[in-house]
Amino acid sequence: MKILVCPVCNSTEIEYDAGGYTGKYYCKRCGYVGSYVLEMTEGEYEEMIKGEEELKRRKID
Ligand SMILES: [Zn+2]
């Protein structure tokens, strides 16, 4: 099963505005609205989060 991920804040709290005329996605965490979101499996998402945490750790060091 694929999950939708916000391209701005990496949140998975994405809602599809199917009832609206825009047909866009809405991120409940950061308020992003757009037709583009990331689509990936849970495994891919976990790897992305791990990778970003690794990057942050390197920047601090
Ligand atoms: Zn977001």
Tokens 């825009």 belong to 22
How many angstroms does the Cα of residue 13 sit away from the middle of ligand 1? 8
- The domains of the chain are located at 2-60
Spatial distance between the Cα atoms of 12 and 53, rounded to a whole number of angstroms: 17
Architecture of the domain whose range is 2-60? Single Sheet (2.20)
**pTM score:** 0.77
How many angstroms does the Cα of residue 59 sit away from the middle of ligand 1? 22
- Per-residue pLDDT of 48-59, as tens digits, reads 999 989 988 998
- Per-residue pLDDT of 33-48, as tens digits, reads 999 999 999 999 999 9
Q: Measured between alpha carbons, how far is residue 57 from residues 10, 11, 39 in Å? A: 17, 20, 26
**Six-digit token string for 25:** 């996605």
